[in-house]
Structure 1
Amino acid sequence: MFGQAQAFSGFSVDDLDAARRFYGEKLGLRVEEAGQGDMRLLTLRLGGGANVLVYPKETHTPASFTILNFPVDDIDAAVAELERRGVTLERYTGFDHDEKGVVRGGDGDGPAAIAWFTDPAGNVLSVIQES
């Protein structure tokens, strides 16, 4: 039934203007805004034609899991660029982060490397290198 549908994901934020600046300026994504007043929405235009809807919610609670993963070819370069743009990496208990804040795996059961950060609303994002 949904096999041919172009599904999309969405998540909430507490400040749509801060989200627009973060995703557009800090992460360099194409961000489109639509609507007016309480009905304003952002659409993040990602590679491969994927779209993610971002909507304001007064009672927003940050997701307790990673909502967006950004695959990269070189995680060290991606982390350096995020830091240059003022993005701070998160360090989570139970993971062995290196001095850059990257968790390196490479055992074949998961990504070769991953680093997490949050948007202004506290939602968790990551850069991930598969091999």
Structure 2
Amino acid sequence: MLENSRPFSSFSVNNLEKARAFYQNILGLSVEENAMGVLELRVEGGQPISIYPKDNHIPATFTVLNFPVTDIEDMVECLKSKGVTFEHYDRPQTDAIGICCNESGPSIAWFKDPAGNILSVIEVE
């Protein structure tokens, strides 16, 4: 039924300009504004990810966007140097720099965008 569809993801923020600055200047992504005033993150190999304004935005309590990386420690240090703060959790447990090194899955580190949405970098081979 939908096997030929090209799905895309979207999520809300409370301030488009702060979101644009973060995704473009901090994360280094290509960000464009479409005709409807919605931001589109241009990512390798996929449909754009839409970020739309919502006055009564409530941050997601789950990971809305994962960025695969080959060296998570290097990426965490790079993002920290740009002012990104990583989350620390007891379950799953993160280490002192914010990385969850889990025996049953890949290493992952979570951080938030200016609207409080949870993002991650996740190590892939």
Segments of 5+ residues of structure 2 without an aligned counterpart are none
Moved more, 91-100 or 25-34: 91-100
Alignment of 1:18 with 2:18, yes or no, is yes
Q: TM-score normalised to the size of structure 2?
A: 0.94
1:122 counterpart (109, 116, 121): 116
Q: Which runs of 4+ in 1 moved over 4 A?
A: none
The number of residues matched between the two structures is 125
Corresponding residue number in structure 1 for 2:72: 75
What does 1:86-125 correspond to in 2, within 5 Å? 86-105=83-102, 107=103, 109-111=104-106, 113-125=107-119
Corresponding residue number in structure 1 for 2:37: 40
**Deviation string, structure 1 residues 81-128 (Cα, Å, up to 9, x no partner):** 1001110001123232222111101x3x321x1000000000000000
Find the aligned partners of 1:73 and 1:126 in 2 and give their Cα distance. Answer: 13
Segments of 5+ residues of structure 1 without an aligned counterpart are none
Alignment of 1:65 with 2:59, yes or no, is no
Moved more, 92-101 or 65-74: 92-101
What is the identity, as a one-letter code, of the residue corresponding to 2:10?
G
Displacement of 1:49: 2.7
Displacement of 1:66: 0.1
Q: TM-score normalised to the size of structure 1?
A: 0.90
Percent of aligned pairs with the same amino acid = 50
Find the aligned partners of 2:34 and 2:124 in 1 and give their Cα distance. Answer: 34
What is the identity, as a one-letter code, of the residue corresponding to 2:112?
T
Moved more, 84-93 or 113-122: 84-93
